[in-house]
Structure 1
């Protein structure tokens, strides 16, 4: 008697629950969201700021009495802040990134050598540095490690005991860096470059040949289009 009463009471509840479950819509189970892997292909542009360290070699000076090497001319190496911008283009092939980049930076790097005893004074100032380089790197998703190399252009002024000239020295640039894509369209980078450039026959009295050596380290931001 009691068993019959319980079955009679529970059966309608179970049947109603089964009907309600059958009427409920089925929702698909979504897969876990995975952060997209960065695609480095495309144009970019940005800005940078850093520091430069200079060194100079004056290989020869000419005078009316003939040619001679002036080994005693030794500028005090000077360093200073550099800052400018860059533009470039990347193409990604699997985990490899191949690209080109051009940059230009203004500087305040100056150097001087004053020889009171011999009566001469040499002053130099680097006005801007520009490079045109290729880049080859390996990407770990949002991180790019790369090497770079190409041509360099260094604009500078020189003053030798009152005779002044301005010229652009041509040479090479090489180095490497790390770039991190921390937003979909924005990346940050740290880059080192070694720059060596030559300028021949500066219009000073006496005429001068000069080799300029620069080490630069900079940080920058790029926007990827």
Structure 2
């Protein structure tokens, strides 16, 4: 009886442990945690679309007929911008009185019709300017007026949704000013405060 019992116990033990050896050894599977990236929030930019009015105060200096002339400039303006996303396009009409004069010439005022095109940097708008300029001036005791051109650069910064501050550097050119025999040039740098609507 001992002879039968021992092989029977061995066979039973083998039968119970055989399934453990069937597939071979494999490493236990450790479940990795799923990492979900944080949602990317869009950068909120400023919408520059809309109209605006404002005032400017600055300084100017001249050349040609206005050689050695430099003094204050001040004025008002109004315009409209359209924001295409990264690109902003707009137009502006500006009137500036000036104190620029020398011994022979006096620039009374500048009226400028400007095209503005710029890059929307969120709260800041950096832009270039091209356009037409109209000026009244006295040269050698006679009054003249003429149309020329203006170009330059500028920047606006949104302080609130309805108020911006900025600056513009503009070059105003008048060739053969109203057949006076003189060219007239003036550079203006103005600080600006705008109210948008």
Distance 2:107 2:138 in 1: 7
Alignment partner of 1:129 is 2:115? no
Gaps of 5+ in 1: 1-32, 58-74, 113-122, 202-207
Root-mean-square deviation over aligned CA pairs: 1.8
User: Match for residue 124 of structure 2?
Assistant: 143
Q: Displaced runs of 4+ in structure 1, greater than 4 A?
A: 33-36
How many pairs are equivalent? 156
User: Match for residue 64 of structure 1?
Assistant: none
**Pairing 1:52-201 to 2, within 5 Å after superposition:** 52-57=60-65, 76-112=67-103, 123-159=104-140, 164-198=141-175, 199-201=177-179
Q: Deviations over 1:164-193 (max 9, x none)?
A: 321112111000111100111000011100
Gaps of 5+ in 2: 1-40
TM-score normalised by L of structure 1: 0.66
Seen in structure 2, the aligned counterparts of structure 1 residues 125 and 95 have a Cα distance that, compared at 3 Å, is: same
User: Match for residue 16 of structure 2?
Assistant: none
User: Match for residue 67 of structure 1?
Assistant: none
User: Match for residue 51 of structure 1?
Assistant: 59
Distance 2:136 2:64 in 1: 14
Distance 2:136 2:193 in 1: 25
Q: How far did residue 157 of structure 1 move?
A: 1.1
Alignment partner of 1:37 is 2:45? yes
Q: How far did residue 158 of structure 1 move?
A: 2.0
TM-score normalised by L of structure 2: 0.74
User: Match for residue 211 of structure 1?
Assistant: 183
Q: Is the 8 A contact 2:131 2:151 kept in 1?
A: yes
Q: Is the 8 A contact 2:144 2:178 kept in 1?
A: no
Distance 1:100 1:144 in 2: 14
Q: How far did residue 76 of structure 1 move?
A: 4.6
Q: What SS does structure 2 have at the residue aligned with 1:200? A: helix
Q: How far did residue 37 of structure 1 move?
A: 2.9
Distance 2:73 2:67 in 1: 19
Larger fraction in strand: 1
Larger radius of gyration: 2
